[in-house]
Amino acid sequence: MFSPEQIRALKIFNQSITMRPIPIDQQEVIRNGKDIWCADWWTIEVLKCLFNGEEMYRADPPPNRLKHNKLWSMEQIVTAKDAKLGMLKLLGENKDFSDTLWICEVGRGIDILLASFVKPWKKIVCYDSNEYILEEVNLYFKGQLGLPIETFRMNSGNFDFNTVTEKVVMVANITRLGEPQKELIKNKDNILEIFDGRRL
């Protein structure tokens, strides 16, 4: 599925998150007694599932932080991996629609990295409501990888997608977009949408 160079890129990105975690109180986190689950850990696990493959991921013992952790679900990680691969396939099939990529609720940026495997985008616009995430996205993808990233802070519920007037490929995975927003996006001729690994 991935070339050796792409697997290496996924592993390096994974290591960068491990080395520069966002403070636990500054990212999405769920707590249940002693169990903790956060956005960074989700990203790390999805990346591992991508570069190791599902079979190896399932066979690999979880890290200590996830052992007996009821908030971690291997099946949810595998489902997220499948959605990412679906997104990647659709990006490849529709890459000529536009040279501009939009990523809704970018998180740590797995979608940026995967999309960069498809082609060299001329512009990558992404937003998130978390300023710490956007700082890390700019530092890694713009600063270290030199990708043409434009970021802005926004909550999906407050964004008017009618303001997107240029021709774009739009990616959204596990977002808080409501059905009216999805319907609006689906009906805009200038947006080719890929949500959770599929077309709407």
Sorted by where each begins, the domain ranges of the chain are: 4-81, 87-195
Q: Is the pTM of this model over 0.85?
A: yes
How far apart are alpha carbons 14 and 122 in whole angstroms? 25
Q: In sequence order, what E strands does 129-172 have?
A: 149-153, 168-172
Convert the pLDDT of each residue in 82-112 to its tens digit: 999 999 999 999 999 999 999 999 999 999 9
Tell me what pLDDT residue 84 has.
97
How far apart are alpha carbons 181 and 185 in whole angstroms? 6
CA atoms within 13 A on the CB side of 162: 3
Q: Please give the structure tokens belonging to residue 136.
A: 């890390």
Q: What is the largest CA-CA distance in the chain?
A: 49
Residues 6+ apart with CB under 8 A from 15: none
Tell me what pLDDT residue 1 has.
80
Convert the pLDDT of each residue in 162-171 to its tens digit: 999 999 999 9
Helix (H, G, I), strand (E, B) or coil at 38: strand
CB-based burial label for 4 (10 Å; 0-12, 13-18, 19+): exposed
Question: What is the mean predicted confidence (pLDDT) over 66-82?
Answer: 93
Buried-state track 85-122, b at ≥16 Cβ within 10 A, e below 16: bbbbebbeeebeebbbbbbbbbbbbbbbbbbbebeebe
How far apart are alpha carbons 10 and 114 in whole angstroms? 9
Convert the pLDDT of each residue in 12-60 to its tens digit: 999 999 999 999 999 999 999 888 999 999 999 999 999 999 999 999 9
> Quick check: 174 pLDDT over 90?
no
How far apart are alpha carbons 87 and 159 in whole angstroms? 23
Q: Using the 8-state DSSP alphabet, how is residue 103 labeled?
A: E
Average pLDDT of the chain is 95
Tell me what pLDDT residue 7 has.
97
Q: Bin 173: left if φ > 0, else alpha if -120 < ψ < 50, else beta.
A: beta
Element holding 42 (H helix, E strand): helix 39-52
Provide the CATH topology of domain 87-195: Rossmann fold (3.40.50)
